[in-house]
């Protein structure tokens, strides 16, 4: 296993049809998903020579929490579809390698089970929140997360409704009991409702569920969130740092900074929500060009399509503090469980150290915009 692609290839051989469909699918014709990755290939380096590079430090902090490499696992649902142990594979792998896992609101295991899976109580975890439409229920959820010792809340803002993922819709989508053993079934949490018996009834009556696995998950969502109300509300119910996950344009990055959140994750949900949403790397580049002041007000991360150490270095050069990865960690744990997650981090660490040396830098704060250039041609 030399690259993340190697791990993905193994995962594709061992996963069920349903898991492949749910993990790899994206919206409509999956163009945004493909372009998320292709965007990285439009940025080229200006490597510097004759600089000392024997001592390289690739560590950083994310929302004040130490991370061994500038990468985190983005919250992605239903790890048990790919491996019987589910999300704790990522928890343990992250703990062993010193990176941070963001736990999905739609994890196969409960937030408590995942917290218990940490190697030690001091191992950091972030929580990805799908906000319930009822503030009281949402508040209860946030307080539970805080009590469990999670270190930050990533409020997902790009998925009030589920995108049109046709490969997922076509796949058999019933969630098996064992895949959701830790989840409440009383409707008390947003985005965590398995399909209900009457959904099946409706389908029998000829109304197909057109939302696939994702549609079964995104229920009770708050469809009326706003910068003015939702951010102050979240601040009032938690002391944890708050990040917005799913910022997709410069204007919203500016509004997020004005709203006083601690961080934004530029993301289009891995191309799974609005087809033709711009790749996060391009959004990052636009912020760098148009509103570089945003980088002084909050931490900026991106996710979507990053698969190589050089992808991460490009994002950091443009001002990102860290890069998230969704599918790579799902595939890694599907292929080899915890060991796959450890190997994923090792591969990325090696690629980042190598890339930094060849760029002529020895710490992540030396990665600056002058070291990259956006070209207007697309390599083959
Ligand atoms: C996701 N993503 C996601 N995001 C979120 O906020 N809550 C969630 O429950 C999920 N679930 C989920 C499931 C699967 C199977 C995928 C592939 C993605 C989006 C995820 O956090 C992240 O934004 C993308 O995965 C990043 O793109 P890459 O790295 O997968 O290309």
In this predicted structure, the answer to whether residue 110 has a pLDDT above a threshold of 70 is yes
Residues in the chain: 380
Phi, psi of 337 (to 5 degrees): 60, -145
At residue 184, the pLDDT reads 52
Query: What SS3 string covers 299-331?
Result: EEEEECCCCCHHHHHHHHHCCCCEEEECHHHHH
Q: What digits encode the pLDDT tens for the residues 21-73?
A: 999 999 999 999 999 999 999 999 999 999 999 999 999 999 999 999 999 99
Q: What digits encode the pLDDT tens for the residues 191-246?
A: 433 334 344 444 444 444 555 666 666 678 999 999 999 999 999 999 999 999 99
Task: Assign residue 249 a region (left: φ > 0; alpha: ψ between -120 and 50; beta: otherwise).
Answer: beta
Active site residues: 130, 158, 269
Atom of ligand 1 nearest to the CA of 156: 6
At residue 234, the pLDDT reads 98
Q: Which of 4, 75, 127 to mutate to test the pocket of ligand 1 (most atoms within 8 A of CB)?
A: 75
Phi, psi of 244 (to 5 degrees): -100, 125
Atom of ligand 1 nearest to the CA of 246: 23
Whether the CA torsion 368, 158, 115, 8 is positive or negative: it is negative
> Residues enclosing ligand 1, CB less than 6 A?
22-23, 36, 74-77, 104-106, 128, 156, 245, 267, 269-270, 272, 303-305, 325-327, 330
Looking at ligand 1, which residue's alpha carbon is closest to its atom 15? 23
Q: Tell me how far apart the terminal alpha carbons of the chain are, to the nearest angstrom.
A: 25
At residue 170, the pLDDT reads 85
At residue 209, the pLDDT reads 55
E-only strand ranges, the chain? 43-45, 60-62, 65-67, 71-73, 100-103, 125-129, 152-156, 242-247, 263-266, 299-303, 322-325, 372-374
At residue 199, the pLDDT reads 47
At residue 203, the pLDDT reads 46
At residue 368, the pLDDT reads 98
Give the model's confidence band at 74: pLDDT under 50 very low, under 70 low, under 90 confident, else very high: very high
CA of 23 to the centre of ligand 1 (A): 8
At residue 215, the pLDDT reads 63
**C-beta separation of 307 from 2 below 8 A:** no
Give the model's confidence band at 119: pLDDT under 50 very low, under 70 low, under 90 confident, else very high: very high
Q: What is the ipTM of this complex?
A: 0.99
At residue 98, the pLDDT reads 98
* Greater pLDDT, 204 or 261: 261
CA–CA dist 48, 38 (Å, integer): 25
CA of 307 to the centre of ligand 1 (A): 14
CA–CA dist 350, 348 (Å, integer): 5
At residue 142, the pLDDT reads 98
Phi, psi of 256 (to 5 degrees): -65, -40
Whether the CA torsion 222, 152, 322, 262 is positive or negative: it is positive
């Amino acid at each position: 296993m030399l690259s993340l692609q190697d791990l993905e290839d193994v995962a594709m051989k061992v996963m069920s049809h349903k898991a492949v469909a749910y993990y790899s699918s994206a919206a409509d014709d999956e163009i945004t998903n493909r372009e998320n990755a292709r965007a990285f290939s439009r940025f080229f380096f200006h490597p510097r020579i004759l600089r000392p590079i024997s001592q390289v430090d690739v560590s950083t902090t994310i929302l004040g929490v130490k991370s061994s490499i500038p990468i985190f696992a983005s919250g992605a649902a239903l790890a048990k579809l790919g491996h019987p142990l589910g999300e704790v594979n990522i928890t343990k792998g992250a703990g062993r390698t010193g990176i941070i896992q963001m736990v999905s609101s739609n994890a196969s295991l409960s937030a408590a089970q995942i917290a218990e899976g940490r190697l030690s109580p001091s191992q950091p975890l972030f929580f990805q929140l799908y906000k319930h439409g009822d503030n009281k229920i949402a508040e209860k959820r946030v307080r539970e997360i805080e009590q469990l010792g999670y270190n930050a809340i990533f409020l997902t803002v790009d998925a009030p409704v589920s995108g049109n993922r046709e490969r997922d819709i076509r796949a058999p989508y019933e969630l098996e009991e064992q895949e959701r053993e830790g989840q409440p079934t009383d409707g008390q949490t947003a985005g965590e409702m398995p399909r209900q018996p009457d959904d099946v009834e409706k389908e029998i009556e000829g109304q197909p569920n057109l939302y696939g696995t994702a549609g079964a998950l995104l229920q009770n969502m708050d469809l009326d969130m706003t910068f003015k109300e939702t951010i102050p509300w979240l601040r009032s119910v938690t002391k944890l740092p708050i990040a917005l996950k799913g910022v997709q344009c410069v204007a919203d990055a500016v509004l997020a900074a004005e709203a006083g959140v601690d961080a934004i994750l530029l993301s289009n949900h891995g191309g799974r929500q609005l087809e033709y949403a711009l790749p996060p790397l391009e959004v990052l580049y636009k912020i760098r060009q148009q509103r570089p002041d945003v980088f002084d007000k909050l931490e900026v991360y991106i996710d979507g399509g990053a698969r190589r150490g050089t992808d991460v270095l490009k994002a950091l050069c443009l001002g990102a503090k860290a890069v998230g990865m969704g599918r790579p960690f799902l595939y890694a744990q599907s292929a080899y469980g915890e060991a796959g997650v450890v190997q994923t981090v090792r591969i990325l660490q090696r690629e980042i150290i190598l890339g930094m040396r060849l760029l002529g830098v020895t710490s992540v704060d030396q990665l600056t915009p002058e070291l990259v250039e956006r070209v207007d041609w697309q390599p083959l």
